[in-house]
Amino acid sequence: MFEDPLLLARLQFALTAATHYVFVALTLGLAPYILTTQLIATVRGDRSRMTAVRFWGGLYLVNYGMGVLSGLVMELQLALNWSGLHAMFGYTFAAPLALETMTAFFVESTFLGLWIFGWDRMGRWAHLACFAVVTTTAYVSAWWVLVANGFLRDPVGFTMVDGVAHLTDPVALMTNPAATMAFGHVVTGSLLVGALVIAATSAHHLIGGDDGHGIFRRGIRYATLVLCVVPIPVAGFGGVQFELFDQAPPTSGLTYTATEIEAIESAAENGVLLQAANMTGDAVMMTAWTLMFLLGPVLLAAWPLGGLDRWRWLLAPLVLTPLLPYLASVGGWVFRETNRQPWTVVHHLTTADAVTPLSPGTAVVSFGFFTLAFAALAVITFWLLVRYARRGPDGGPLAERRTGEPDDPAASDGSQEPTAPVHTF
């Protein structure tokens, strides 16, 4: 393996993309719940729900920061390792990615900053509007990424000029079924990720009887509703993609170069490995999805009996359930990507032609660096999320600071008793 730069480049991208998606899925899954909770809190003037916004928003903030870092690193390795893709399809494939960068790193980050530092400094409706922009741009950003990925699977809306693809039909690019169906699948799948992270955190605190604000009681009920409703559209969007892309596109009338013919023959020789990866991804996805589909009715049946608040035998296993949507997502991604090999852009650019010419030594160094970087990001993020989730609403990064706490200069001599929170909601 260490003597094959192409295999190392593919494996490197698989690891970095899968790790980055872990952050993206939680961002997309948490944002709607936080936005809805803040809307209700703003309309009702509900302090307990605003405390919930601060708690879940703190987890969102940690995850988002690591998502940005991993996204930057992933784009760097995409530019370094896949120069052939950019040389031929830079005007088409890269265009949605450029828009995604502008959306995520400028608009979304700016309004998230306003939301973070705007507590007690702006009106409650303006503060709510900031997070509404954050939520919207998060989904727009995901949309542009899937437009780019959909182009690889079903290239449309371009023409070749001197060996370089030029975009001629942006509408066809944005309405590509490979993008629209994937977007629906990813969005609904991300809602499951967010719901089960909320369920796991809520179950941990409910087991310990720590729910003075009602945050976790409401959280586990939200997760129950999502688990009863969302798996159906997840399966629907996935089923449509099975019908559209579960077989290689027709090849009649296409002429291949000698390099492409060699890549196709090589893929046929390695078909057992590709098929094994393809089937494994499909099996993992379907198994995890089935378990989630069964979990919703169980929680719903326990709801009227009070089991969601006090049955330890039901709550304890929920702490581990976030693994299910993550496994399903990564398994589905493996199935989707291996299913189009040996092509990077189906019937136009093979993976062998897309990769940057690298010596085995350079490929090993690149693989080692990026793998270690992403492993570190994943471990740090997991540790921070677990740490703040276990601390509860009074210990998160956005927790409401009260006068009289140790970091408050006014109380440094111990002469002042803690008073009410500063926040005016």
Task: Determine the distance from the C-alpha atom of residue 287 to the mean position of all C-alpha atoms in its chain, rounded to a whole number.
Answer: 20
Alpha-carbon torsion (40, 45, 47, 48), positive or negative: negative
What pLDDT shows up at residue 71? Answer: 85
What is the value of pTM for the model shown? 0.85
Residue type, 104: A
In a domain, 418, yes or no: no
Half-sphere exposure (Cβ direction) of 100: Cα atoms closer than 13 Å? 20
Q: Can you list the residues of the chain whose pLDDT is less than 50? A: 248-256, 260, 264-265, 267-269, 271-272, 405-425
In a domain, 341, yes or no: yes
Residue 143, class by beta-carbon neighbours within 10 Å (0-12 exposed, 13-18 middle, 19+ buried)?
buried
Q: At 210, is the secondary structure helix, strand, or coil?
A: coil
Encode 9-25: b = buried (16+ Cβ within 10 Å), e = exposed. bbebbbbbbbbbbbbbb
The total of structural domains in the chain comes to: 1
In a domain, 420, yes or no: no
DSSP state of 357: -
Q: Which of 13, 46, 93 is nearest to 367 (CA)?
A: 13
Task: Determine the distance from the C-alpha atom of residue 404 to the mean position of all C-alpha atoms in its chain, rounded to a whole number.
Answer: 39
Compute the distance between CA of residue 341 and CA of residue 346 in angstroms, rounded to an integer.
Answer: 8
Residue 400: phi, psi to the nearest 5? -70, 120
In a domain, 415, yes or no: no
In a domain, 114, yes or no: yes
Structural domain span for residue 78: 5-245+255-398
In a domain, 403, yes or no: no
Compute the distance between CA of residue 160 and CA of residue 221 in angstroms, rounded to an integer.
Answer: 53
What pLDDT shows up at residue 369? Answer: 87
In a domain, 301, yes or no: yes
In a domain, 417, yes or no: no
Compute the distance between CA of residue 369 and CA of residue 374 in angstroms, rounded to an integer.
Answer: 9
| C-beta separation of 19 from 377 below 8 A | yes
pLDDT by residue (tens digit) across 383-415? 999 999 999 898 888 887 765 544 443 333 443
